[in-house]
Chain A
Amino acid sequence: MATRQAFDRDLAEVQQDILRMGALVEQSVYESVRSLAAQDSVLAAQVIINDERVDEFFRDLEAKIIGLIATQQPMAKDLRVVVTGIKILMDLERMSDYAVDIAQATMCMVGEPCCGSDMAEILRMGRLAQRMLKEGLDSYVEGNVEKARAMCALDDQVDYIFDHLFRALTKSMEENPAFVPSGAHLLYVIRYLERIADHATNVGEAVIYQVTGERRELN
């Protein structure tokens, strides 16, 4: 008779739930940036509501994982799967919080004039951060170390866009003081996006640890 079937089932269920939570966070990141570009406060409100569901997932999954550690004493690969689960969970929860921050910035900015060329670049940065999250979750599903590494490498691009946007936004504000209220919010927004990308690289590092047992700092 095969051993540990119940544990395997519980572990698979936890991983499935992490992916469901991941899909929700991915949606939040996407919609937060879209709400910003479209100045859509209804969509922004949706992101904030979404975060409650993410938090619910977080609490539920955290309890399940602690339960598995307490009752099953996972070792070796199992231990790495469980630890990776907790790490990814925390990163996803944090990313959702940043999406909320972006949504709140949107709400503050509705009706304020802002520089169109900067906004296009922020959208590009948002798409990149969202892509990193998606590829991080894909690498988690597939246990694909190469994909995780390739995704982490995108963080350099995000950092580059951040530096570039930081300069562009301050310049826009200098040139046109009417942009200052929105520009100040956007400086925060690019910081949030940069942090979301950092958390995506954490997901990649966690996947590499789960598969290989090696811990690497990739951002």
Chain B
Amino acid sequence: MSIPKISIRDLNLYYRDTQALKNIDIDIASNSISALIGPSGCGKTTFLRTLNRMNDLIEGVRIDGTVELDGRNVYSPDVDVVSLRKSVGMVFQRPNPFPMSIYDNVAYGPRVHGIRKKGRLDEIVEASLRGAALWKEVRDRLFTPAMGLSGGQQQRICIARLLAVEPEVVLMDEPTSALDPVSTLKIEELIRELKHKYTIVIVTHSMQQAARVSDITAFFLDGEMVESGDTGMMFTKPVDKRTEDYITGRFG
């Protein structure tokens, strides 16, 4: 790998007395899709949330180790968390559009960051909706409520909203778990498209999804990253017996 986009070293996370992440080491390449898999409670979502410091909001959390984004530790005291979350955006399990129009949802971030000119906002909204593969479906009703869209479209609105602030890394926490199969496949197609411009890390409960969309798969168990590697290899010839047991469904 050339210089990694994200480089994680000796990352440990504790919720009060419980250790939720144990000595995580991994490099994530630019313009790659990494899938994090593992049983519930294994730490994969917690790990995802360390990448843009979402765990800072939780009381009793202690983190040591480093998460470097382009060579800079995101846990350095001088890092501005707001601008970090602009560079490292997140899409959640359930689509959570704001109760406003499609246009205002997408323009929300740029407005917060001080863009006021309508022409510029129009450009950003269109580019972001195109980027989220939603423009053709909504261009005639940009000023209708986003809540009126289908679940899959709402999730793509959330992706457009995130693209509008020009992130470098997109984190996705089970982005299709609340969607039907067709919407799921559309989001997966979109994820593969997004890879050309962004670095993507996705948590998924669906191993088929990890196999379909990702370049790299990492398997988490009890807070440990058991194994990570090329997705094709992980699903045909995993090295660790625990990975083998999990992905063949012989678990517990």
| Chain A residues packing against B (C-beta within 8 Å) | 1-4, 7, 73-80, 213
Contact = CB atoms under 8 A, between A and B. Distances in A.
User: Considering residues B237, B248, B249, B250, which has the most beta carbons from chain A within 10 angstroms of its beta carbon?
Assistant: B248
Nearest to A1: B252
Q: Classify chain B: how many residues form its interface, as a range.
A: 10 to 19
Nearest to A2: B250
A73 B248 contact: no
A1 B249 CA distance: 12
Contacts of A77: 244, 248
Contacts of A213: 236-237
A76 B252 contact: no
A80 B250 contact: no
Contacts of B235: 75-76, 79
B53 to A, nearest CB: 34
B127 interface: no
A76 B248 contact: yes
Given A76-B236, A77-B244, A80-B236, A3 B252 contact: yes
Given A73-B208, A79-B236, 10 more contacts: A3-B249, A4-B249, A4-B250, A7-B249, A75-B247, A76-B236, A76-B237, A76-B247, A78-B248, A213-B237
B250 to A, nearest CB: 6
Nearest to B237: A213
Interface string B217-252: 000000000000000000111100001100111111
B179 interface: no
B238 A76 contact: yes
20 contacts: A2-B250, A3-B249, A3-B250, A4-B249, A4-B250, A7-B249, A73-B208, A75-B207, A75-B235, A75-B236, A75-B247, A75-B248, A75-B249, A76-B238, A76-B244, A76-B247, A77-B244, A77-B248, A80-B237, A213-B236
A95 to B, nearest CB: 27
A180 B158 CA distance: 80
Contacts of B236: 75-76, 79-80, 213
B248 A4 contact: yes
Contacts of A74: 248
Nearest to A8: B250
A68 B248 CA distance: 13
A3 B251 contact: yes
A57 B80 CA distance: 67
Contacts of B252: 1, 3
User: Considering residues B207, B244, B247, B250, which has the most beta carbons from chain A within 10 angstroms of its beta carbon?
Assistant: B250
Contacts of B237: 76, 80, 213
User: Considering residues A2, A3, A4, A76, which has the most beta carbons from chain B within 10 angstroms of its beta carbon?
Assistant: A76
B238 to A, nearest CB: 5
B173 to A, nearest CB: 23
A213 B247 CA distance: 15
Contacts of A76: 235-238, 243-244, 247-248
B184 to A, nearest CB: 15
Interface string B199-217: 0000000011001000000
A143 B249 CA distance: 22
